[in-house]
Structure 1
């Protein structure tokens, strides 16, 4: 069964004990579909999928999928498939005007973050998560889907209002990437309809189309035979099916419907080369695309054959990654993978980000040589064995978590079935299938794929680079010569693997010296004999997940004159590997294990972050111990990393994008040009010393006594104590009293206005910032959060819905406790240059309304509902508790603060938001930064 990156890998230890069946026996057997899914088709043609799933509890994920996208547009409708998606949020039979968004926000569903939709070439999909614990909400949600399906009002006045929003979305998509894509897309898509029907459409049409054009698209293509309703969640399946049947059966089947043409991308056997440059593109990127007819999974043999594809991708990915871990890497980043392409095609794609324009031939040669190496010599048996271990391990995790899989993941499977004819076997059947057949995948079988994937037919090469470097890029003739000659002299791959214990000797275990419990949070706090504090929160949120985080104060702030080395210290040391293993060997050693651990050093802290499972917890703890006690220095690898980093920064400096110039200018304003906040430049890399980085690293990890470890997940406290004593209790301790050296860099006081002129496109970006000191406390923090959300709601209504001047607007907030309390509000949006002042004025008017009157009561209700709903699901995840406990310990906040949430939410009133707005939005302390296009 074809899967993307997650690839439904199941794991069983040792390939299996079931006799291998012949692959030929499977060709006549259809792929069984997961029996846990209730499917059906109504008389009018609507397909439905329903599944009960209690993760998360009291929630459902609803989808309406329509097999209609931009390829179905006429010449006069270009962009209207996407425009239609917008219009479904602007008035339907049961939810006129913006009542849909208003209703859902009151239930705690956030517009954009939760409620959303997308339009592709071949489909349009509407997404609606809905609570199921309030009477009638699920039915109301299904009603929303039905309205989308055939109840759009498409009012002429609403269409006119939405033009500005869609045109602003189009405007925000303009730039170097878009201009270059427009140049090469027709080349790689062989002038097919896909190259002529980008979902965003054409501005010239969006500005003037008649309402009847979009009504015709809706009538022609939003019809039952092209639709599916998907419902997955914590509900009664029979009742949900009855609601779907009742709501959707009344939609009439079309009479004499238009033929739904399936457009193809033709394969003509030739090699296409596209070399495109742009004055605002800072990178040097090369893509090598081998197009293949799409592989459909129709039988169990197809499912079994896809094991080979997944194993090939894994091994090829490892080889290309190894190239970046050498003393002289051929590129900054690279990858090769077989997968879906577009329309009726798959592709085997190799990609590389070159150091500079002159290195493009080197990068392309390296990709071609790796592909040729596999073609000539294949992979090795140890590589395949490791890939199978990883494949199996990931599948085992998926299987173990089958009752804890989120509804959104299941929904995607059924979307893929309806839209792409991809099967969904379900965890049990697939697990059983993998046990029976993965072991039968041979090295010869996987090696044969290289000859199938990599051919001299139907190729496309795309070279993208800065306009300034145009003369340094390879020519089409040079590229074609490389395609014909590169790789002829390659030698076989040498597999350098090490099989040694991760630790050279057994750690000298410590002891738990003190223990207390926080019963309200179900958290145990341990103190070990070396001074390390450990917070343990066992959960049942996942069956096979344990998350680990350790934090201590200090960071590279303690080395104020060595900022550059400090920034890179942990990365460079980790790149050397750990214990007896270099980085490449460590990756091979970890095959089949779920234990990802890495150290970090930030400006104010140092620590460890990792994830594992019960089976591999000891390995994860061994890695933690090794990163403290046995870091490695790999001079060759680090020289390559630093050379690459310098090249990357040189590319950025040569071609400064509008976004980069604006970001750097705003950063300079906010930090008063403090050198400790200046962006890195190529010369910064010259100051980085590996030897000093190792010294800084060893200093920061020489004393674990001030570290707080937080461990959350699938374990029992008493059972893991011995492991914690053995590894965490054995960490070095000098009992020093450390703290950070806070730079105390915050936005300046006063009123600052700055306009930056950069960019070729007629688009602007506006950022408005209010900041200052405040008293850090839970009570004040919640007022800041409320103010951010109600202002976000109001500005979307004002700038998007009423002014039609923006596609989106972002209001963000941040608070700091150290060294003293600080807050910051940031309002940001993109718009037409001619609308900047009008929209800034409207923004300030909305802020002033809250300052004078407080927030609207209905907006406060939305904030409370959204916060409550968000928290209901967040507290059922390991990641939430890991971050919450770690953050509160670092800040010195009360761990029981979360128990005050309802009381804190109750403190949000019109009066409190008025007081907060008056305190935190001050004309005297205000920063306005505007990006405008360059004068022509």
Structure 2
């Protein structure tokens, strides 16, 4: 039989059956409509999270529609939405939404892009709350007041947001923008805008943009959540059926105008710490709304999967010039798409890295891959879709929101998970190596822009533009006959274990506790939050704290080296192929005070994931190539780390807070000299060859019988020897009194400040709860006083850290950046807020708000595996550990308890203030 002829006949029949010109149908679960004024609405019922709804107002206008004197005002207008509407004056809107328990920046937020502005709310699903949420969206749609005083106050906040993006990020970004966008409208309309336009913004300019583009025919309301869709539809009709401008005309559909030409750009900077290279191509984009465009989208994903797998294999070769490599593709607007391949290269062999990376790009763009390679990737892709569908009832609202938003903005079809799986299964059967080659050609074009980024320093051999072009021309004219793809699917050796036994079973209100024949305790909880997900954590209190410094250094790299060097009979590169289509991960860790494993899997792969775990501890090994590559990478990182002002600053903060404890600094050359294959293997075996005093938490969708089977086979058989190793406190104590220090490094327009208030109280569940509550209230005050009133920052927040296993390293940290000339003013104002807070200047309304927020957060959290995994983990070694119920929290969190706690926990005369300042401003 002529197999080749038969294969193409089969493909032809599939094409004939499927009909690739056919339009895709939207999910019948999506309720959509258009009001008489032209406003679109989309409503979808989704059960997760329970009793929660996500509401979005999508305005089909962003920075591209700005006039020359309006640059940045689309984004400015987004800010003004939170500064007052007809019904909600000034900041009353945020205060009101916070009174519902919503977090500013989390539950209520917004963003502005080139082509859209989106406002987002997360609300409870009572009819009253849904009514309020949709009323707020309606206010934003046409009732933003644009008070002149509020506009002037907000300028400082927006300028600080602009300032955050300056420095090295901006310098690289300016070059990349020119490469990507040429002289198109996109280049001249970045959403953040221009400082001069922000400073000159006024009511008339903002109102002109607002009234022109915020029209019903240019907007959509999207609602996804655990609600009655018909009820939500009636509320939308109630609020949004207002009259718009009958003369409204849609904006220009701007494109990048096919500006790409073959080019090579080299950018060096003293603050860059490594060499990276981008190959950038441009292609046309089309909405995913037909079988043909869906097929192309899937084929693109398959290509990227193949490409990324091969780059991962290449990076593991001995002395590979490529550290990391990968491709990605994204659309800009409706018609344009960028296809990029990014490489991190060894700085001592940049040219070889370019040659090796581009050779793979050409190979895929000019040669047909084997059916074996394609089928492996199809298996992997289909596995991901199946896993998505199996867990469809735990898909979060925002996932669906993004899909519906793409339907409204770009014309994609909204497909429900089951239909997507069915379509994908059929389409995958029709995708051929030729289809992958066609996609690959979009990444391999004559008109490719090459962008090389490297440190600016002596003795670094950076190839010239001519050198790079010569390498590219050489590859484009070569046959690449010697290049092949690794696609051989290996088999894992069988594991023979003698099962142990479960000795006792104790049922509690939270979980079932099994005591095993080897003494290990297992905390098991069955859940149905995710239909097919299991989370396992094995852990022991010890870590590297009781090891000498040499062992400590080797313990830092041991988990990475062992887990990337192959498992059992599999080599490191075979692992890349073996993992195709398998949904599990096994991750060892060693920290200061603990060691253990994280294992995540679905039911199909649970046994395999546990085989991996046992093979990793039974016979750990180190691949010499993986070891050498990591050491080469670390040497480069150590050599270049202080190019970065942020790295120097982080080390300064750590050294001051730890009183120069060597275990709190970043690695240096002396540390690297202590690392060896033998020492790494020794410390890994030492930590994972004896499971005495280990505990195990299992949370997920496996039932009791399945759990008992896996527990007896894999965990009750673990080796246990009598010993009593415990964590050894490192003895790190924060400095006393007031410490001020600074780092001056780099070129930037901002100063960065860290304020640290060491915790001065004792640990208890109650104190931990009060500490976390205090931080939430403090954040609200800091936003009001420092951001809104002073306009001194864009972002300011505190981080509380109080746990018994911190062994004294407990603190409240405050982070912000600001204009260099305002550093002292904003820092002193922040400390004044803290002083007043400690002394009881706390509004009762803010206490009420965090109590309401706690209830919402708690109700969502307890329906997630992650919550129960973390809760049982802490409960296992903190006997009195407790998470308060909303009712208990409501009774406990009050003004008196908070002020009493703060007096003992935070001392206004004991803080560490560390500032990063630029050597000069740009």
Question: Does TM, scored on the shorter chain, surpass 0.5?
Answer: yes
How far does residue 342 in structure 1 lie from its aligned partner after superposition?
A: 5.8
How far does residue 438 in structure 1 lie from its aligned partner after superposition?
A: 1.5
Structure 2 vs 1, CA of residues 870 and 439 (structure 1 numbering), >3 Å: closer, same or farther? same
Corresponding residue for residue 313 of structure 2: 322
Structure 1 residues 823-850: Cα deviation after superposition (integer angstroms, max 9, x where no partner): 3111121111222222223223222323
How far does residue 405 in structure 1 lie from its aligned partner after superposition?
A: 1.4
Structure 1 residues 217-268: Cα deviation after superposition (integer angstroms, max 9, x where no partner): 1111111111110001111111110110111111x22143354011111225
Corresponding residue for residue 283 of structure 1: 274
Corresponding residue for residue 261 of structure 1: 252
Structure 1 residues 765-794: Cα deviation after superposition (integer angstroms, max 9, x where no partner): 122111144221111111111211111111
Structure 1 residues 307-328: Cα deviation after superposition (integer angstroms, max 9, x where no partner): 3222111111100111111111
Structure 1 residues 638-678: Cα deviation after superposition (integer angstroms, max 9, x where no partner): 1112111211222223x2x2222222211111011111211
Number of aligned positions between the proteins = 909
Structure 1 residues 856-887: Cα deviation after superposition (integer angstroms, max 9, x where no partner): 11111111112221111011000111112113
1:212 aligns with 2:198: no
How far does residue 579 in structure 1 lie from its aligned partner after superposition?
A: 0.7
Corresponding residue for residue 347 of structure 1: 338
How far does residue 602 in structure 1 lie from its aligned partner after superposition?
A: 1.7
Corresponding residue for residue 915 of structure 2: 930
Structure 2 vs 1, CA of residues 282 and 561 (structure 1 numbering), >3 Å: closer, same or farther? closer
2:545 partner SS: helix
Corresponding residue for residue 29 of structure 1: 22
Structure 1 residues 533-579: Cα deviation after superposition (integer angstroms, max 9, x where no partner): 11111001011111111111222223222122121112111121111
CA contact (8 A) 1:532 1:706 kept: yes
Q: Select 2:283's aligned residue among 286, 289, 292.
A: 292
1:464 partner SS: strand
Q: Select 1:365's aligned residue among 343, 355, 358.
A: 355
Corresponding residue for residue 913 of structure 1: 898
CA contact (8 A) 1:773 1:821 kept: no
Structure 1 residues 599-626: Cα deviation after superposition (integer angstroms, max 9, x where no partner): 1222221111021112221112211211
1:860 aligns with 2:851: no
Q: Select 1:166's aligned residue among 128, 150, 158.
A: 158
User: Counterparts of 1:805 and 1:730 in 2: how far apart (Å)?
Assistant: 59
User: Counterparts of 1:365 and 1:683 in 2: how far apart (Å)?
Assistant: 33
Higher mean Cα deviation, 316-325 or 744-753?
A: 744-753
Q: Select 1:722's aligned residue among 709, 725, 737.
A: 709
1:340 partner SS: strand
Q: How does 1:174-189 map to 2 (within 5 A)?
A: 174-189=166-181
Corresponding residue for residue 443 of structure 1: 433
Corresponding residue for residue 7 of structure 1: none
TM-score (norm 1): 0.94
1:690 aligns with 2:677: yes
Q: Select 2:47's aligned residue among 31, 54, 57.
A: 54
CA contact (8 A) 2:283 2:442 kept: no
1:207 partner SS: helix
Q: Select 1:510's aligned residue among 500, 503, 506.
A: 500
User: Counterparts of 1:64 and 1:580 in 2: how far apart (Å)?
Assistant: 54
User: Counterparts of 2:251 and 2:806 in 1: how far apart (Å)?
Assistant: 63
Structure 2 vs 1, CA of residues 532 and 894 (structure 1 numbering), >3 Å: closer, same or farther? same
Q: Select 2:566's aligned residue among 570, 574, 577.
A: 577
User: Counterparts of 1:433 and 1:337 in 2: how far apart (Å)?
Assistant: 23
How far does residue 909 in structure 1 lie from its aligned partner after superposition?
A: 1.6
How far does residue 935 in structure 1 lie from its aligned partner after superposition?
A: 5.4
1:807 aligns with 2:794: yes
Q: Select 2:693's aligned residue among 677, 698, 706.
A: 706
User: Counterparts of 1:482 and 1:299 in 2: how far apart (Å)?
Assistant: 40
CA contact (8 A) 2:281 2:442 kept: no
Structure 2 vs 1, CA of residues 188 and 822 (structure 1 numbering), >3 Å: closer, same or farther? closer
User: Counterparts of 1:18 and 1:885 in 2: how far apart (Å)?
Assistant: 52
User: Counterparts of 1:331 and 1:396 in 2: how far apart (Å)?
Assistant: 33
User: Counterparts of 1:779 and 1:461 in 2: how far apart (Å)?
Assistant: 57
Q: Select 1:745's aligned residue among 732, 746, 761.
A: 732
1:894 aligns with 2:883: no
Structure 1 residues 40-89: Cα deviation after superposition (integer angstroms, max 9, x where no partner): 11111111100111211110000011111111111101111110100000
1:60 partner SS: strand
CA contact (8 A) 1:41 1:48 kept: yes
CA contact (8 A) 2:326 2:341 kept: yes
Structure 2 vs 1, CA of residues 814 and 753 (structure 1 numbering), >3 Å: closer, same or farther? same
Q: Select 2:324's aligned residue among 328, 333, 344.
A: 333
1:791 partner SS: helix
Q: How does 1:111-150 map to 2 (within 5 A)?
A: 111-133=104-126, 135-150=127-142
Q: How does 1:748-759 map to 2 (within 5 A)?
A: 748-759=735-746
CA contact (8 A) 2:310 2:485 kept: no
TM-score (norm 2): 0.95
CA contact (8 A) 1:188 1:272 kept: no
1:531 aligns with 2:519: yes
CA contact (8 A) 1:51 1:231 kept: yes
How far does residue 29 in structure 1 lie from its aligned partner after superposition?
A: 1.4
Q: Select 2:577's aligned residue among 567, 588, 595.
A: 588
User: Counterparts of 2:547 and 2:835 in 1: how far apart (Å)?
Assistant: 44
CA contact (8 A) 1:284 1:464 kept: yes
How far does residue 198 in structure 1 lie from its aligned partner after superposition?
A: 0.8
CA contact (8 A) 1:758 1:931 kept: yes
Corresponding residue for residue 553 of structure 2: 564
User: Counterparts of 2:456 and 2:13 in 1: how far apart (Å)?
Assistant: 57
1:136 partner SS: helix
Instruction: Show structure 2 runs of 5+ residues with no match.
Output: 1-9
Corresponding residue for residue 234 of structure 1: 226
User: Counterparts of 2:285 and 2:154 in 1: how far apart (Å)?
Assistant: 37
User: Counterparts of 1:259 and 1:603 in 2: how far apart (Å)?
Assistant: 59
1:541 partner SS: coil
CA RMSD of aligned residues (A): 2.1
User: Counterparts of 1:648 and 1:396 in 2: how far apart (Å)?
Assistant: 40
2:802 partner SS: strand
How far does residue 854 in structure 1 lie from its aligned partner after superposition?
A: 4.8
User: Counterparts of 1:554 and 1:822 in 2: how far apart (Å)?
Assistant: 17
Structure 2 vs 1, CA of residues 611 and 806 (structure 1 numbering), >3 Å: closer, same or farther? same
User: Counterparts of 2:260 and 2:198 in 1: how far apart (Å)?
Assistant: 37
Structure 1 residues 405-445: Cα deviation after superposition (integer angstroms, max 9, x where no partner): 11111111001111122221111222222233322222333
User: Counterparts of 1:570 and 1:822 in 2: how far apart (Å)?
Assistant: 25
User: Counterparts of 2:316 and 2:809 in 1: how far apart (Å)?
Assistant: 42
1:65 aligns with 2:58: yes
Higher mean Cα deviation, 396-405 or 113-122?
A: 396-405
Corresponding residue for residue 387 of structure 1: 377
1:90 aligns with 2:90: no
